[in-house]
Amino acid sequence: MAEINPPLLSVKDLHGHYGESHVLHGMTFDVHPGEVVTLLGRNGAGKTTTMRAIMGLLRKRAGSIRYEGTETVGLAPNRIARLGIAICPEERGIFASLSVRENLLLPPVVLPGGLSVDEIHDLFPRLEERRSSQGTKLSGGEQQMLAIARILRTGAKLLLLDEPSEGLAPVIVQHIGKIIRDLKAKGFTVLLVEQNFHFASTVADRHYVVEHGRVVDMVENDKIAENAARLEAFLGV
Protein backbone atom coordinates (compact mmCIF):
# COMPACT_ATOMS: atom_id res chain seq x y z
CA MET A 1 0.00 0.00 0.00
CA ALA A 2 1.83 3.08 -1.18
CA GLU A 3 1.59 5.98 1.18
CA ILE A 4 2.50 9.57 0.60
CA ASN A 5 3.81 9.87 4.12
CA PRO A 6 4.78 6.35 5.26
CA PRO A 7 5.03 5.89 9.01
CA LEU A 8 8.41 6.12 10.69
CA LEU A 9 7.33 3.57 13.24
CA SER A 10 4.68 0.98 12.53
CA VAL A 11 3.59 -1.35 15.33
CA LYS A 12 1.25 -4.21 14.36
CA ASP A 13 -0.29 -6.76 16.68
CA LEU A 14 2.44 -6.51 19.30
CA HIS A 15 2.16 -9.09 22.07
CA GLY A 16 4.37 -9.01 25.12
CA HIS A 17 4.91 -11.02 28.29
CA TYR A 18 6.59 -10.37 31.62
CA GLY A 19 7.46 -13.91 32.58
CA GLU A 20 4.18 -15.75 32.59
CA SER A 21 1.86 -12.76 32.52
CA HIS A 22 0.56 -11.63 29.17
CA VAL A 23 0.76 -7.84 29.24
CA LEU A 24 0.42 -6.65 25.64
CA HIS A 25 -2.50 -8.04 23.67
CA GLY A 26 -1.88 -6.88 20.13
CA MET A 27 -0.85 -3.23 20.20
CA THR A 28 -1.28 -1.60 16.83
CA PHE A 29 -0.43 2.02 16.00
CA ASP A 30 1.67 4.23 13.73
CA VAL A 31 3.91 7.22 14.22
CA HIS A 32 4.64 9.41 11.21
CA PRO A 33 7.86 11.37 10.74
CA GLY A 34 7.87 14.68 12.61
CA GLU A 35 4.82 13.77 14.69
CA VAL A 36 4.44 13.82 18.43
CA VAL A 37 2.17 10.94 19.39
CA THR A 38 1.10 9.92 22.87
CA LEU A 39 0.08 6.62 24.41
CA LEU A 40 -2.49 7.54 27.07
CA GLY A 41 -3.70 5.14 29.67
CA ARG A 42 -3.97 4.23 33.30
CA ASN A 43 -1.27 2.60 35.38
CA GLY A 44 -0.67 -0.92 34.22
CA ALA A 45 -2.28 -0.41 30.81
CA GLY A 46 0.89 -1.51 29.07
CA LYS A 47 2.27 1.83 27.89
CA THR A 48 5.75 1.51 29.39
CA THR A 49 5.84 -2.14 28.38
CA THR A 50 5.18 -1.08 24.80
CA MET A 51 8.07 1.38 24.93
CA ARG A 52 10.37 -1.25 26.31
CA ALA A 53 9.25 -3.66 23.61
CA ILE A 54 10.02 -1.14 20.88
CA MET A 55 13.47 -0.57 22.38
CA GLY A 56 14.10 -4.31 22.54
CA LEU A 57 14.18 -4.42 26.32
CA LEU A 58 11.17 -6.73 26.64
CA ARG A 59 12.47 -10.24 26.16
CA LYS A 60 9.25 -12.02 25.29
CA ARG A 61 7.67 -10.10 22.47
CA ALA A 62 5.96 -11.09 19.23
CA GLY A 63 4.30 -9.30 16.37
CA SER A 64 5.69 -6.61 14.13
CA ILE A 65 7.59 -3.44 14.89
CA ARG A 66 8.83 -1.71 11.78
CA TYR A 67 11.11 1.32 11.92
CA GLU A 68 11.81 2.98 8.59
CA GLY A 69 10.67 -0.25 7.03
CA THR A 70 13.08 -2.47 8.97
CA GLU A 71 11.58 -5.21 11.12
CA THR A 72 12.98 -4.78 14.64
CA VAL A 73 10.92 -7.13 16.78
CA GLY A 74 13.70 -9.70 16.93
CA LEU A 75 16.66 -7.38 17.32
CA ALA A 76 18.87 -6.74 20.36
CA PRO A 77 18.51 -3.33 22.02
CA ASN A 78 21.86 -2.03 20.85
CA ARG A 79 21.00 -2.84 17.23
CA ILE A 80 17.68 -1.03 17.59
CA ALA A 81 19.43 1.99 19.08
CA ARG A 82 21.81 2.08 16.16
CA LEU A 83 18.89 2.26 13.73
CA GLY A 84 17.99 5.60 15.28
CA ILE A 85 15.65 5.05 18.20
CA ALA A 86 16.45 6.33 21.70
CA ILE A 87 14.65 5.98 24.99
CA CYS A 88 14.21 8.25 27.99
CA PRO A 89 12.94 5.73 30.55
CA GLU A 90 10.24 6.30 33.15
CA GLU A 91 12.67 6.05 36.04
CA ARG A 92 15.04 8.40 34.16
CA GLY A 93 18.02 6.10 34.64
CA ILE A 94 20.60 8.69 35.62
CA PHE A 95 23.79 6.88 36.59
CA ALA A 96 24.92 7.59 40.12
CA SER A 97 28.54 6.70 39.50
CA LEU A 98 28.82 9.17 36.61
CA SER A 99 29.02 12.96 36.64
CA VAL A 100 26.38 15.00 34.84
CA ARG A 101 28.74 15.53 31.93
CA GLU A 102 29.59 11.84 31.76
CA ASN A 103 25.88 11.01 31.81
CA LEU A 104 25.28 13.46 29.02
CA LEU A 105 28.05 12.07 26.83
CA LEU A 106 27.39 8.41 27.56
CA PRO A 107 25.01 7.44 24.73
CA PRO A 108 27.18 7.15 21.64
CA VAL A 109 26.46 8.99 18.40
CA VAL A 110 24.75 6.42 16.20
CA LEU A 111 23.71 8.58 13.25
CA PRO A 112 24.62 12.00 11.89
CA GLY A 113 22.27 14.87 12.54
CA GLY A 114 22.16 14.85 16.32
CA LEU A 115 22.43 18.02 18.36
CA SER A 116 25.87 19.23 19.34
CA VAL A 117 26.83 19.57 22.97
CA ASP A 118 26.60 23.35 22.64
CA GLU A 119 23.10 23.15 21.21
CA ILE A 120 22.10 20.90 24.08
CA HIS A 121 23.56 23.32 26.58
CA ASP A 122 21.52 26.09 24.96
CA LEU A 123 18.35 24.10 25.52
CA PHE A 124 19.37 23.01 29.01
CA PRO A 125 21.67 25.61 30.58
CA ARG A 126 21.37 24.06 34.05
CA LEU A 127 23.15 20.97 32.80
CA GLU A 128 26.21 22.95 31.79
CA GLU A 129 26.35 24.69 35.15
CA ARG A 130 26.21 21.43 37.04
CA ARG A 131 28.30 19.32 34.71
CA SER A 132 30.76 18.13 37.36
CA SER A 133 28.16 17.13 39.91
CA GLN A 134 27.35 13.50 40.50
CA GLY A 135 24.44 12.59 38.27
CA THR A 136 22.01 11.69 41.02
CA LYS A 137 22.71 14.86 43.00
CA LEU A 138 20.49 16.80 40.57
CA SER A 139 16.91 17.64 41.41
CA GLY A 140 14.13 15.57 39.88
CA GLY A 141 13.44 18.12 37.19
CA GLU A 142 17.13 18.47 36.33
CA GLN A 143 17.50 14.71 36.11
CA GLN A 144 14.55 14.60 33.71
CA MET A 145 16.23 17.27 31.59
CA LEU A 146 19.45 15.27 31.60
CA ALA A 147 17.64 12.09 30.62
CA ILE A 148 16.10 13.86 27.64
CA ALA A 149 19.24 15.80 26.79
CA ARG A 150 21.57 12.86 26.53
CA ILE A 151 19.59 11.15 23.78
CA LEU A 152 19.52 14.26 21.61
CA ARG A 153 23.20 14.02 20.80
CA THR A 154 23.02 10.52 19.41
CA GLY A 155 21.41 11.31 16.10
CA ALA A 156 18.37 9.21 16.92
CA LYS A 157 15.32 10.45 15.05
CA LEU A 158 12.63 8.66 17.06
CA LEU A 159 12.57 9.58 20.74
CA LEU A 160 10.65 7.44 23.20
CA LEU A 161 9.80 9.59 26.23
CA ASP A 162 8.22 7.70 29.11
CA GLU A 163 6.20 9.95 31.43
CA PRO A 164 8.57 12.93 31.34
CA SER A 165 6.18 15.05 33.42
CA GLU A 166 5.75 12.57 36.23
CA GLY A 167 6.36 13.89 39.71
CA LEU A 168 7.54 17.32 38.57
CA ALA A 169 6.41 20.80 39.52
CA PRO A 170 4.06 22.52 37.04
CA VAL A 171 6.70 25.12 36.09
CA ILE A 172 9.12 22.39 35.09
CA VAL A 173 6.40 20.47 33.31
CA GLN A 174 5.73 23.57 31.23
CA HIS A 175 9.42 23.82 30.44
CA ILE A 176 9.48 20.21 29.29
CA GLY A 177 6.47 20.86 27.13
CA LYS A 178 8.31 23.74 25.47
CA ILE A 179 11.32 21.52 24.89
CA ILE A 180 9.24 18.86 23.22
CA ARG A 181 7.69 21.47 20.94
CA ASP A 182 11.19 22.75 20.14
CA LEU A 183 12.34 19.24 19.34
CA LYS A 184 9.38 18.75 17.04
CA ALA A 185 10.30 21.98 15.29
CA LYS A 186 13.82 20.65 14.84
CA GLY A 187 12.47 17.57 13.09
CA PHE A 188 12.50 14.92 15.81
CA THR A 189 9.70 12.38 16.01
CA VAL A 190 8.44 11.69 19.51
CA LEU A 191 6.42 8.86 21.00
CA LEU A 192 5.26 9.96 24.40
CA VAL A 193 3.79 7.95 27.26
CA GLU A 194 1.65 9.99 29.59
CA GLN A 195 -1.07 9.75 32.19
CA ASN A 196 -1.46 13.52 32.31
CA PHE A 197 -3.39 14.14 29.13
CA HIS A 198 -3.65 17.88 29.73
CA PHE A 199 0.08 18.07 29.41
CA ALA A 200 -0.03 15.67 26.48
CA SER A 201 -2.49 17.86 24.66
CA THR A 202 -0.04 20.79 24.78
CA VAL A 203 2.58 18.93 22.80
CA ALA A 204 1.06 16.11 20.80
CA ASP A 205 -0.59 15.77 17.42
CA ARG A 206 -2.43 12.53 18.15
CA HIS A 207 -3.26 10.38 21.14
CA TYR A 208 -3.73 6.64 21.29
CA VAL A 209 -5.76 5.42 24.24
CA VAL A 210 -4.40 2.18 25.66
CA GLU A 211 -6.22 -0.24 27.90
CA HIS A 212 -5.25 -3.76 28.96
CA GLY A 213 -2.43 -3.92 26.49
CA ARG A 214 -4.27 -2.82 23.38
CA VAL A 215 -5.18 0.38 21.61
CA VAL A 216 -8.86 1.14 22.13
CA ASP A 217 -9.13 4.60 20.65
CA MET A 218 -7.29 7.30 18.73
CA VAL A 219 -7.99 10.99 19.27
CA GLU A 220 -6.61 13.83 17.13
CA ASN A 221 -5.33 16.65 19.26
CA ASP A 222 -7.77 19.20 17.88
CA LYS A 223 -10.61 16.95 19.01
CA ILE A 224 -9.25 16.70 22.54
CA ALA A 225 -11.55 19.37 24.04
CA GLU A 226 -14.72 17.56 22.97
CA ASN A 227 -13.39 14.31 24.41
CA ALA A 228 -11.93 15.79 27.59
CA ALA A 229 -14.62 14.64 30.00
CA ARG A 230 -14.64 11.12 28.61
CA LEU A 231 -10.85 10.86 28.78
CA GLU A 232 -10.72 12.30 32.29
CA ALA A 233 -13.13 9.66 33.50
CA PHE A 234 -11.28 6.97 31.66
CA LEU A 235 -7.86 7.89 32.97
CA GLY A 236 -9.18 8.32 36.48
CA VAL A 237 -7.70 11.80 36.70
Partner 1 sequence: MIELLGIPPQALFGQLLLGLINGAFYAMLSLGLAVIFGLLNVINFTHGAQYMMGAFGAWMLLNYAGIPFWGALVISPILVAIVGMVIERILLRRLYHLDHLYGMLLTFGLGLIIEGLFRRQYGSSGLPYNNPLPGGTNLGFMFLPNYRAFVVVASLIVCFATWFVIERTKLGSYLRAATERPDLVQAFGIDVPRMITLTYGFGVGLAALAGVLAAPAYQVSPTMGSSLIIVVFAVVVIGGMGSIMGAIVTGFGLGIVEGLTKVFYPEASSTVIFVIMALVLMVKPAGLFGTAK
Please pick, from the candidates 78, 125, 140, 167, the single residue that binds partner 1 as defined by CB under 8 A.
78
**# of chain residues touching partner 1 (CB under 8 A):** 25
Kindly indicate which of the ranges 1-9, 96-104, 189-197, 213-221 contains the residues binding partner 1, using the contact rule CB under 8 A: 96-104
Q: Which of these, 185, 110, 98, 93, lies nearest to 148 by C-alpha position? A: 93
- Of 26, 33, 77, 177, the one binding partner 1 (CB under 8 A) is 77
Tell me the CA end-to-end span of the chain in Å, nearest whole number: 39
> CB-wise, 9 or 209, nearer to partner 1?
9
The answer to whether 205 and 179 are in contact (CB under 8 A) is: no
Residue 106 as a binder of partner 1 (CB under 8 A): the answer is yes
Q: Is 148 in the site for partner 1 (CB under 8 A)?
A: no
Told to check if 70 binds partner 1 by CB under 8 A, we report no
Using CB under 8 A, pick the residue from 108, 113, 125, 167 that binds partner 1. Answer: 108
169 binds partner 1 (CB under 8 A): no
Whole-angstrom distance, CA of residue 184 vs CA of residue 112: 17
Q: Which of 82, 126, 131, 181 lies at the binding interface for partner 1 (CB under 8 A)?
A: 82
User: Is residue 68 within the footprint of partner 1 (CB under 8 A)?
Assistant: no
SS (H, E, C) 1-51: CCCCCCCCEEEEEEEEEECCEEEEEEEEEEECCCCEEEEECCCCCCHHHHH
By CB under 8 A, residue 107 contacts partner 1 = yes
* CA nearest neighbour of 201 among 227, 183, 182, 233: 227
Amino acid in the structure at residue 70: T
Where residue 200 falls (left for φ over 0; alpha for ψ -120 to 50; beta otherwise) is alpha
Kindly give, in sequence order, each residue whose CB lies less than 8 Å from that of residue 184, ignoring residues fewer than 6 positions away: 34, 36, 190, 203
- For the bound state, the minimum distance from the C-beta of residue 120 to partner 1, rounded and expressed in Å, comes to 15
96 touching partner 1, by CB under 8 A: yes
Where would I find the beta strands (DSSP E) of 47-126?
A: 60-67, 70-71, 85-88
Nearer to partner 1 (CB atom), residue 52 or residue 184: 52
Name the residue nearer to partner 1 (CB basis): 42 or 82: 82
Helix (H, G, I), strand (E, B) or coil at 99: strand
Of the candidate residues 5, 21, 97, 132, the single one contacting partner 1 (CB under 8 A): 97
Residue ranges that bind partner 1, judged by CB under 8 A: 55-57, 76-78, 80-82, 86-87, 89, 93, 95-98, 102, 105-108, 110, 151, 154
